[in-house]
A and B are shown apart, each in its own frame.
Chain A
Amino acid sequence: MNPSQANLAPHAAVHPGVPAISTLRLVGGILLAMGTFVLLGLVPYFVEVYVGRFGVSPPIAPPLLLSVGGLLALLTGASFVLKPTSAWGPSCVILSVAGIAYLLYLVQSPVYSITFSHVAITITYSTLLWLLLLVPVLGLAAGLVATIEDWRHPGERARIMFH
């Protein structure tokens, strides 16, 4: 028996030379998901709660920040775990679509307002959000190409990536 085949998890896609979803990859995915949740969920949440004490009105409800941050974190971790498999492309597409949807939601009210004494300061970040859309849009394109690649040449991408 080929040693690499002896280590294949039962649920992994079986292609010659393609690594299985190893325990290490699972742990990496979990750590990546946790880190993403901290960056996209916890940090914005605590920043909003903190600046809210100084009269800054949050553009997005803090609980929603945590929910969306958690969802994106899960999708990011899953995408990392599925990288050796043909499900990676579709997982990238789903993650990118979720990112695009989130940014399009944020762009509807892209304003931070701070009021103190007789002064009101309003900062608009719509330009930043529109530019940030580039990231998931390019990620979507990458995911679509990976999906097509894996469909037309199963296992070829994973063999190149992991060897």
Chain B
Amino acid sequence: MSRPPLYRLRQLFSLASALSLVALVLAVVTAGVSAGEFVVGAQSASNFRAQSTSYSLVANEVIAHANYSIPNAGFYSIGGLTMMAVISNSSIQPGPVAVAHAGPVTIPGGSHGTLALVVPFNLSSPAGTFLLTHDAQLATALWVNGTYAVLFPVSIATTYEATWGAPFARLAFSAGAPASQSNGTVQVAVTLSFENHASITLAGVVRATVVDPHGDHCGSAVFPILNNGGPETVTAEVWIPTTCPTSGDTVVATVELNGLALPLPPEPLP
């Protein structure tokens, strides 16, 4: 018997409904299995900490490069994976000290992906100036968003404390007592000491100037600093003519690195 049109239409709808249900159930079951594989593979990962971190000094910013390696042992892809980090320390300033974004990246099933987070710390800001010379604990809030197996948007949020090592920790600048020289000049020894707790190379110069009480320049010196980490003490001599009285003079200095100018506190001559 040939089937009437309405019968065939009803059959078509019923079949489409059943096939949709089967397809979706299969998708959910396989996504669940794949997600289980992903979780097992990810448990050996970093607990949401960066696998590698490096720092660089560019202009007036310290750039922290944090790489997060994300294994996807499942067979479905993770799409549109993004990361956002907000770093703060309420004792330094109320708002965030730094904000960074990474992604989006897509990690196919059975492979690894990397989210490269670039965190700029503006050293010209009040918080940046503090962080130049003070170690600190920075509260880091991390958000990771992505879509698993096309169907399931996932969001992960976590917080942890990150340790900030200051490039110029324990910064001390001092000026020695003026010493008259046989050639008619006066020598003032200036000493700069600090500890580089940051994992960055500090390469630059220190410009030291002796200024009299009227603000006139009596003499200056430029001396290099090069430090890859750890303590550093550099001493230089500023020569000033005898015509410039030393009483009440002050040494003002600036550290210049890759476009960053860090003024040091004025140091009166003893």
Contacts and interface: CB of A to CB of B under 8 A. Distances in A.
A157 B6 CA distance: 9
A11 interface: no
B162 interface: no
Contact of A135 (B6, B20, B151, B152): B20
Nearest to A117: B158
Contact of A118 (B9, B150, B159): B159
B17 A128 contact: no
B81 to A, nearest CB: 14
Interface string A128-163: 100110111011011001101100110011001000
A124 interface: yes
A132 B14 CA distance: 14
Contacts of A153: 4, 6
A127 to B, nearest CB: 5
Contact of A139 (B3, B7, B13, B48): B13
B68 to A, nearest CB: 14
A142 B28 CA distance: 25
A17 B38 CA distance: 56
A31 to B, nearest CB: 19
Contacts of B159: 118
Given A119-B157, A149-B4, A149-B7, A134 B151 contact: no
Chain A contact surface mostly: helix
Given A128-B28, A148-B6, A149-B4, A134 B17 contact: yes
A118 B156 CA distance: 10
A46 interface: no
B45 to A, nearest CB: 13
Contacts of A127: 150-153
A152 B154 contact: no
Contacts of A123: 152-154
Contacts of B24: 128, 131-132, 134-135
Nearest to A89: B10
B17 A135 contact: yes
A142 B10 contact: yes
B7 A121 contact: no
B84 to A, nearest CB: 14
A133 B1 CA distance: 34
Contacts of A152: 6
A128 B152 contact: yes
Contacts of A148: 6
B16 interface: yes
A160 to B, nearest CB: 6
A131 B151 contact: yes
A145 B6 contact: yes
A134 B27 CA distance: 15
A131 B158 CA distance: 31
Nearest to B48: A119
A142 B3 contact: no
A127 B48 CA distance: 27
B6 A121 contact: no
A125 interface: yes
B51 interface: no
B7 A160 contact: yes
Interface string B41-83: 0000000100000000000000000000000000000000000
B79 to A, nearest CB: 12
B33 interface: no
Contacts of A131: 20, 24, 151
Contacts of B10: 142, 145-146, 149, 157
10 contacts: A118-B160, A119-B156, A120-B156, A128-B152, A132-B21, A134-B17, A134-B24, A139-B17, A156-B4, A160-B1
Given A127-B153, A135-B20, 8 more contacts: A119-B158, A128-B27, A132-B24, A134-B17, A135-B17, A153-B6, A157-B7, A160-B1
* Shortest beta-carbon contacts, A-B, top 8: A138-B17, A142-B13, A145-B10, A149-B6, A141-B13, A124-B153, A122-B155, A142-B14
